[in-house]
Amino acid sequence: MFDFGMIGERLGTRMRKKILATIATAGAVICLAACGGSSASSGQPGSGVPSAQTLVNDAFAALKAAHSLRVSGGVVESGKGIHLDVGFIKPSSANGTLSGSLSGFTATFKLIITGGKGYILIDKSFFGSLAKEDGLPASACSAVCGKYIEVPASQFGDFSLNGLTNSMLKAQDEVGSGVTVTSIDGQPAYKVSDGHGSYLYIAENGTHYPLEVTKPGTGTLTFSQWNSVPPITAPPASQVTSLP
Q: Answer whether 209's CB lies under 8 Å from 62's CB.
A: yes
The pLDDT score that the predictor gives to residue 229 is: 97
Q: How far apart are CA 197 and CA 94, in angstroms?
A: 31
In a domain, residue 239? The reply is no
Q: What is the CATH number of the domain that holds 62?
A: 2.50.20.20
Q: How far apart are CA 76 and CA 62, in angstroms?
A: 26
The percentage of residues in the chain with a pLDDT greater than 70, rounded to a whole number, is 68
Per-residue pLDDT band for 93 (boundaries 50, 70, 90) equals very high
Across 39-43, 107-111, 127-131, 219-223, the highest mean pLDDT is recorded for 219-223
Q: Answer whether 176's CB lies under 8 Å from 34's CB.
A: yes
Number of domains in the chain: 1
Q: How far apart are CA 100 and CA 125, in angstroms?
A: 12
Give pTM, 2 decimals: 0.79
The pLDDT score that the predictor gives to residue 9 is: 52
Alpha-carbon torsion, ordered 34, 218, 169, 120, to 10 deg: 150
In a domain, residue 152? The reply is yes
Q: How far apart are CA 69 and CA 64, in angstroms?
A: 11
In a domain, residue 221? The reply is yes
Domain hosting 77: range is 4-231
In a domain, residue 40? The reply is yes
The pLDDT score that the predictor gives to residue 26 is: 47
Q: How far apart are CA 82 and CA 165, in angstroms?
A: 20
In a domain, residue 241? The reply is no
